[in-house]
């Protein structure tokens, strides 16, 4: 076994050299255990089935190549989730060669490294939110508690909230920063304190995890809507932390008064400070683009001002799309080995721009069918499987991305998406949407998958 672990470590260090730091830390670094080795196949234990699916889709071929190279003989990797290992153990009851697995319900989530104050560009739309954020970061739980940031999707709420976390940690590395999305909170709560289970160890773990926070960051609190049990639980947590002088920061897509949650919780949110982030104007969009460029190419002067103006003029709804357009432009020019100039920006982006303009006021069933077909092709599954009942992970993942894209790119309502996907109900669709939105914030590979799908649709789907 040691030998195989060494092999994996070798492959891992090669992956480290050839991937960016975030990808490496999120995708490969967490894999530290091997389940078994059989017929020259090394079974790596991954955390979730989504990890497994993603790695198979994007990296497995490369990993096998490296492994064969390191081993000097044909070998390959297979992936198995911790849950599957557990199930296997139960069945076989022979765990002699299995490494111990952690079976805790709550997965600690890390702050995204690049979401810092220094990478956040300010302008009219976000200056107030930024100023208050710095205040909170400089004196947590003293001036503004709770701190509530709201605004439309993709405008920098998660970025700012995370930046506060980084700042506080830098000044006081012992601070226990707990970041969670409201959706994750609901899932943790459900696993730990489900009415039907009387597992006090899990319930204790839940309490210890959340109550030990010095700084609690809860993203997208609107997700608590209509989830009474979770709201109660969150209320208790809030009271506990607040009384113990801990800082609480919450983000949301709307002001607290418009949340669909119990009024005592709403009123707590108005105790501190609420601030919103608005859509950036042209000036700020251009400044953000220049800021992002630093991360993409070494000599930012190579991109002329009229390109920046063009992109900023055409992607005016949210920063995530703005950034996506810039990345697409850069990778277009790099892959065709052409200059970063205006004409090439038009070539790279024109189709997307005119398409997104058209798509704002469309949305019939007929269009959805065509979109479903393109997405199914992309995933190499058939349309029936996309809409059908099967819970097989590749169908589920494709379905979740379909929901996300129908909603964000084509402005479809959750109800109409539900009926296009085999008559699924609103809650199911809403859950799928949140799942991907959350994943995009935390996993650059899923973000990449979404980008790829969108550019495939841009190419293949004409109204």
d(CA 150, CA 146): 13
| Under rule CB under 6 A, residue 60 binds ligand ADP | no
Establish if 324 lies at the interface with ligand ADP (CB under 6 A).
Answer: no
**Using only C-alpha atoms, what is the Rg of the chain?**
23
Contacts of 408 (CB under 8 A, 6+ apart): 153
Peptide bond into 97 cis (omega under 30): no
- 323 interacts with ligand ADP by CB under 6 A: yes
Give the residue at shortest CB distance from Mg ion: 158
Q: Report d(CA 67, CA 53) in Å as an integer.
A: 19
Tokens of 89: 């153990």
Structure tokens at 21: 């730091």
Q: Compare residues 158 and 230 and give the one whose CB is closer to Mg ion.
A: 158
157 binds ligand ADP (CB under 6 A): yes
Residue with smaller CB distance to ligand ADP, 146 or 418: 146
Task: Give whole-number Cα distances, 60 to 15, 55, 56, 67, 409, in Å.
Answer: 11, 6, 5, 10, 30
- With CB cut-offs between 5 and 8 Å by kind, which of Mg ion, ligand ADP, none does residue 120 bind? ligand ADP
Instruction: Return the number of the residue (23 or 158) whose C-beta is nearest Mg ion.
Output: 158
Minimum gap (Å) between residue 439 Cβ and ligand ADP: 12
Assess 51 for contact with ligand ADP (CB under 6 A).
Answer: no
Sole residue written with tokens 């590979």: 445
* Using rule CB under 6 A, residue 158 touches ligand ADP: yes
Give me the residues paired with residue 292 across strands: none
Contact flag: residue 158 with Mg ion (CB under 5 A): yes
Out of 63, 144, 319, 453, point to the residue binding ligand ADP (CB under 6 A).
319
Whole-number Å distance between alpha carbons of 162 and 110: 10
Distances (CA, A) of 71 to 1, 10, 65, 103: 14, 10, 10, 32
Three-state DSSP state, 381: coil
CA-to-CA distance for 51 and 182, rounded, in angstroms?
A: 21
Stretch that binds ligand ADP, among 78-86, 91-99, 117-125, 332-340 (CB under 6 A): 117-125
Does 252 engage in binding with ligand ADP (CB under 6 A)? no
Helix (H, G, I), strand (E, B) or coil at 219: strand
Measured distance CA(178)–CA(341) in Å, rounded: 44
Q: Is 318 one of the binding residues for Mg ion (CB under 5 A)?
A: no
Q: Which is nearer to ligand ADP, 33 or 157 (CB)?
A: 157
Please report, as residue ranges, which positions from 132 to 151 form the binding site for ligand ADP (by CB under 6 A). Answer: 151
In the bound state with ligand ADP, the residue whose beta carbon lies nearer, of 19 and 317, is: 317
155 near ligand ADP (CB under 6 A): yes
358: three-class secondary structure by DSSP: helix
Positions in 253-312 near ligand ADP (CB under 6 A): 288, 291
Q: Is 434 in the site for ligand ADP (CB under 6 A)?
A: no
Residue 111 lies near ligand ADP (rule: CB under 6 A): no
Which stretches of the chain bind ligand ADP, using CB under 6 A? 115, 119-121, 126, 151, 153-159, 288, 291, 319-320, 323, 441
Q: Which residues bind Mg ion (CB under 5 A)?
A: 158
């Amino acid at each position: 076994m040691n030998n195989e672990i060494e092999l994996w470590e070798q492959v891992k260090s090669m992956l480290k050299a050839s991937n960016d730091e975030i990808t490496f830390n999120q995708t490969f670094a967490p894999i530290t255990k091997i389940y078994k080795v059989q017929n020259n196949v090394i079974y790596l234990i991954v955390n979730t089935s989504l990890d497994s699916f993603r790695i198979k889709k994007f990296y497995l071929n490369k990993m096998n190549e490296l492994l064969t190279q390191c081993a000097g003989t044909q070998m390959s990797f297979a992936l198995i989730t911790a849950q599957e290992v557990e199930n296997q153990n139960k069945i076989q009851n022979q765990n002699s060669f299995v490494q111990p697995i952690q079976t805790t319900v709550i997965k600690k989530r890390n702050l995204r490294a690049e979401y810092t104050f220094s990478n956040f560009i300010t302008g009219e739309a976000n200056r107030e939110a930024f100023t208050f954020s710095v205040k909170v970061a400089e004196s947590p739980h003293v001036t503004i508690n709770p701190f509530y940031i709201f605004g439309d999707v993709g405008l920098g709420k998660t970025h700012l909230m995370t930046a506060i976390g980084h700042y506080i940690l830098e000044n006081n590395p012992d601070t226990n920063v707990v970041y969670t999305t409201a959706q994750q909170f609901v899932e943790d709560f459900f696993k730990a304190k489900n009415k039907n289970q009387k597992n006090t160890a899990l319930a204790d773990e839940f309490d210890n995890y959340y109550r030990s926070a010095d700084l609690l960051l809860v993203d997208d609190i609107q997700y608590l809507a209509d989830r009474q049990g979770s709201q109660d639980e969150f209320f208790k947590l809030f009271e506990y932390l607040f009384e113990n002088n801990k800082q609480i920061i919450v983000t949301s897509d709307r002001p607290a008064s418009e949340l669909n949650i119990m009024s005592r919780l709403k009123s707590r949110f108005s105790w501190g400070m609420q601030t919103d982030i608005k859509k950036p104007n042209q000036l700020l969009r251009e400044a953000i683009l220049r800021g992002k460029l630093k991360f993409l190419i070494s000599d930012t002067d190579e991109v002329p001002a009229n390109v920046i103006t063009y992109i900023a003029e055409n992607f005016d709804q949210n920063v995530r799309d703005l950034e996506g357009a810039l990345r697409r432009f850069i990778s277009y020019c790099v892959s065709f080995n052409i200059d970063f100039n205006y004409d090439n920006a038009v070539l790279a982006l024109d189709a997307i721009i005119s398409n997104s303009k058209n798509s704002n006021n469309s949305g019939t069933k007929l269009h959805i069918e065509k979109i479903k077909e393109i997405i199914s092709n992309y995933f190499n599954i058939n349309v029936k499987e996309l809409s059908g009942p099967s819970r097989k992970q590749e169908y589920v993942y494709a379905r979740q991305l379909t929901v996300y894209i129908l909603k964000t790119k084509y402005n479809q309502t959750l109800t109409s998406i539900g009926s296009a996907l085999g008559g699924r109900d609103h809650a199911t669709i809403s859950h799928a949407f949140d799942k991907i939105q959350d994943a995009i914030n935390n996993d650059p590979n899923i973000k990449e998958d979404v980008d790829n799908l969108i550019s495939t649709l841009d190419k293949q789907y004409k109204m």
